[in-house]
Structure 1
Amino acid sequence: MNQQLIKARDAVDVALACIDEIQKMTSNAKAWSWFDILGNGFIGSFYKRQNIKNINDKMTALQEDLQRVVAELEDINLTADFNLSDTSPDLFLDVFFDNIVTDIRVHQELSDLNHELENTAEQLNIIARVIDNEF
């Protein structure tokens, strides 16, 4: 077994695990977002914002994981490009402009982020299959 292939596959697995965690957090934030949209007030907003903060923290870790994947892929003559948006401005806007329009926008952006994560996971799974075929 080629050590470089193993390192690349491990990097892909770490990134996929991180995506899975973020998707779970996103689902939780979207659930709290519904409470916030439907007028649950402080409690819904508080838990939604906590989840968004955790998502933002985990997105930073995912960006690092994806950079590691790209570096490991270069070692085995493969390339990849991952583009994920940053959701950190949403917390600021949601805290200072807490209204139905902002709540709906944040809810939609959580959905968009989940879609981006699904696309990135799909790319990583394709890369994993390519690496597995090289073993």
Structure 2
Amino acid sequence: MYDRLREIDEAIAAGREALEALEDAADSLDSAKRWGIVDILGGGLITSVIKHSRLGDANHALADARVALARFSAELDDVRGVAGLTAEVNRWNAFFDIACDNWLADIFVQKEMSDAADRVDEAIETVKRAVRRLEDARRA
């Protein structure tokens, strides 16, 4: 019984760690999307650079999340499929966005950021559900 509770506690801790990293990534993606809107509406080179910096922040948070998710998925089968998350923008779109700095490139990058944000939001919900199930099992 004690071993089972300890394993559940370890899984809950790993899930919470993954959630924290995923939420950091979601925040960075939201910031990047806001900068993307500014860029679409007439931002310049600086705006594009800031936007891509925020994307880099999101990727660092997602790298942390992948480590925590790997630990979490060792305990659970429920979180399979979320370990491959990235917020990367196609390299050519990123180059085109910064080098050419036009509205068309801005829109392509904005779409990629929105898709990444949707994937992160889905992962957050999946992990939250799994953690809730663990917490319920712990109380039972």
TM over 0.5: yes
Change in CA separation of 1:87 and 1:20 when aligned onto 2, cut-off 3 Å:
closer
Aligned-residue CA RMSD (Å): 1.7
Name which of 58, 63, 79 aligns with 1:60. 63
Q: Who is 1:6 aligned against?
A: 9
2: CA distance between counterparts of 1:3 and 1:85? Answer: 28
Question: What does 1:1-135 align with in structure 2 at a 5 Å threshold?
Answer: 2-73=5-76, 78-83=77-82, 84-90=84-90, 92-98=91-97, 99-135=102-138
Q: Larger deviation: 15-24 or 81-90?
A: 81-90
CA contact (8 A) 1:12 1:69 kept: yes
Checking the alignment, whether the CA contact within 8 Å between 2:93 and 2:108 is kept in structure 1 is: no
Secondary structure of residue in 2 paired with 1:88? coil
Aligned-partner Cα distance in 2 for 1:33–1:16: 25
SS of the aligned residue for 1:80 comes to coil
Distance, in Å, in 2 between the alignment partners of 1:87 and 1:124 is 18
Contact conserved, 1:26 with 1:110, CA < 8 A, in 2? Answer: yes
Contact kept? 1:11, 1:68, Cα under 8 Å:
yes
Per the TM alignment, residue 52 of structure 1 is displaced from its structure 2 partner at its CA by 1.1
Aligned partners of 1:70 and 1:79 also within 8 Å: yes
Structure 1 residue 21: Cα displacement: 0.7
The structural deviation recorded for 1:96 is 2.2
Equivalent pairs, count? 130
Distance 2:89 2:9 in 1: 37
Report the CA distance between 1:31 and its aligned residue.
Answer: 0.8
Structure 1 residues 4 and 104: CA distance shift in structure 2, 3 A: same
Shift of 1:80: 3.0
Matched-pair contact (CA < 8 Å) for 1:26–1:114: yes
- Listed as ranges, the gaps of 5+ residues in structure 2 are none
